[in-house]
Amino acid sequence: MTAMESCTFGLLGELSIDDGAVDLKARKLRSLLVALLLRPGSPVPDTELIDWIWDAPPSRANSTLQVYVVRLRHALGRLGSLVSRSSTGYRIDVDTDQVDLHRFRRLAMSRDVDARTELGDLREALSLWRGPALADATSEAMRFEADRLDEERLVAVERRIELEIELGAHRELVPELRALTRRHPLRERFAEFLMVALHRGGRSADALAIYRDVHRMFADELGVHPGRRLAELHDQILCGREIGTSSCLGPLNRR
C-alpha cells in the first residue's frame, strides 16, 4: 500500500488530513475538498461543486472553480495528483474507507445475527465522530448536508442504545440517556429508552415521571400529545408489566 493509499481524510468534525505535509487553511479550498470527499472516486459536476462552495456564486464561477482546483492540488502537495478532471466533473481518487464518513456508514449499516458483533461495529462507527459533521461548511447546501449526516449519527446512537439495553446495560445507560433527552427533547426514542432503562432498573416511578415531563413539554410547546409508542410504554409500566425489547423497543434486528 502506498502512502497516498493509506492517507485518511476526516469529515466527521473539522476537515482533517492525516498528512503532516498538508496545511489547508483557505476556507473555500477546504469546502472544495469536502465536496469531493463526499463522493470519493466519482466525478462531481461543476454545478454541484459551485453549489457546495457558494450560496451566491461569483459571476465567473466556473473559471473561479478551475482556479480553486489548481490551488487545491498545489496545497495538497503529493496528494494533489488524487484530484483529476473528467468529462463530467472533478473527482478525488481515494477509496471510500479512506474517508471517515464512508467508513462510518459501512460500519453503521452492517448487520449481524449476533447482537454483540453489531454493537461492536456501531461503537467503532460512532468513535469516528470528532464533532458536528462538515464543520467547514461555507454554504447552505453543505450545512443542509451536515444536518442530514448528524441525523445519521443519531440513528446509529439509537440503534447502539437499543442493543445495549437488550444486552442488559440499562442501569449504565441512564446518565447518557438523561443527557440525550435534554439535548434532543423532541426525539421520543430517547425518552422511550430512558423509561425502559429506569423501569428495568427498578425505578418505575422515575420512568413514569419522564412520561409526564414529555407529555407536558409536547402539550406546552407543540400543542400535541406524545406518540402512540410512548403512550403504550407508559401504560405498560403503569400496569407493572415487565418490558421486553420485542414488546416495546421493536425487534432486535429492526431497522
Digit-coded pLDDT (tens) for 127-173: 999 999 999 888 999 999 999 999 999 999 999 999 999 999 999 99
Q: How far apart are CA 65 and CA 58, in angstroms?
A: 10
Domain stop point among 140, 167, 194? 167
pLDDT at 246 exceeding the cut of 60: no
- pLDDT tens column, 192-224: 999 999 999 999 999 999 999 999 999 988 999
Contacts of 121 (CB under 8 A, 6+ apart): 107, 108, 110, 112
Residue 20's pLDDT is 65
Are 137 and 246 contained in the same domain?
no
CA distance linking residue 24 with residue 47, whole number of Å: 23
* CATH number of the domain enclosing 204: 1.25.40.10
3-state SS, residue 44: strand
Domain shared by 186 and 108, yes or no: no
Tell whether the model's pLDDT for residue 4 goes beyond 70. Answer: no
Q: How far is CA 42 from CA 37, 81, 84, 91, 240, in A?
A: 9, 15, 10, 6, 55
pTM: 0.89
Statement to judge: residues 159 and 236 lie in one domain = no
Q: Which of 128, 146, 167 is the last residue of a domain?
A: 167
**Residue 83: how many other CB atoms lie within 10 Å:** 19
Q: Are residues 39 and 116 in the same domain?
A: yes
* Average pLDDT of the chain to the nearest whole number: 91
Last residue of a domain, one of 141, 167, 193: 167
Its domain, for residue 222, covers: 170-255
Say yes or no: 76 and 189 in one domain: no
Q: Based on the fold, state whether residues 18 and 95 are members of the same structural domain.
A: yes
Q: Which three cell numbers stand for residue 151?
A: 441525523
Q: Is the confidence at residue 251, as pLDDT, over 70?
A: no
